């Protein structure tokens, strides 16, 4: 393979490839999948005697995880959410969702002889 030109070698990755500076969906999805295992690993050797006590410990670790600045995007999960995702959120509907099943039926007429 040929070596990239000097111009390309010193350009930021996002500019060279025509992408924005935000991380791609695969990177974000992988971080979401890693969060539960990171929480379990830190809580593994602790003993909790009530559900509220466990929930408090999970909330503290989750806040720490969401506020930690990662190396690749250079921002925390909370900052990325505020910049990218929050604007796309829609409000919840006023009426709760009601599940229903519909079946399309046809009436068959037998030929008359």
Question: Is there a domain that residue 47 lies in?
Answer: yes
Question: Is there a domain that residue 42 lies in?
Answer: yes
Determine the Cα–Cα distance for residues 83 and 89; give it in Å rounded to an integer. Answer: 12
pLDDT at 10 over 50: no
State which residues form the domain around 35: 22-88
Question: Is there a domain that residue 101 lies in?
Answer: no
Question: Is there a domain that residue 10 lies in?
Answer: no
Question: Is there a domain that residue 46 lies in?
Answer: yes
Per-residue confidence (pLDDT) for residue 52, from 0 to 100: 94
pLDDT digits (tens, 9 = 90+) for 59-100: 999 888 888 887 777 888 888 888 888 888 888 889 998 999
Question: Is there a domain that residue 113 lies in?
Answer: no
Residue 37 in tokens: 């295992």
Question: Is there a domain that residue 84 lies in?
Answer: yes
Per-residue burial over 65-102, b = 16 or more CB atoms within 10 Å of its CB, e = otherwise:
beeeeeeebebebeebeeeeeeeeeeeeeeeeeeeeee
pLDDT digits (tens, 9 = 90+) for 11-33: 444 444 555 555 555 655 566 66
Q: What global pTM score does this model have?
A: 0.48
How many domains is the chain built from? 1
């Amino acid at each position: 393979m040929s070596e990239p030109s000097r111009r390309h070698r010193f350009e930021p990755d996002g500019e060279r490839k025509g992408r924005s500076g935000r991380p791609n969906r695969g990177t974000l999805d992988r971080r979401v999948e890693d969060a539960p295992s990171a929480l379990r690993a830190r809580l593994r050797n602790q003993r909790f005697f009530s559900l509220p006590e466990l929930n408090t410990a999970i909330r503290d670790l989750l806040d720490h995880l969401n506020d930690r600045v990662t190396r690749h995007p250079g921002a925390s999960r909370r900052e990325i959410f505020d910049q990218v995702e929050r604007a796309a959120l829609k409000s919840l509907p006023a009426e709760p969702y009601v599940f229903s099943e519909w079946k399309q039926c046809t009436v068959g007429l037998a030929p008359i002889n």
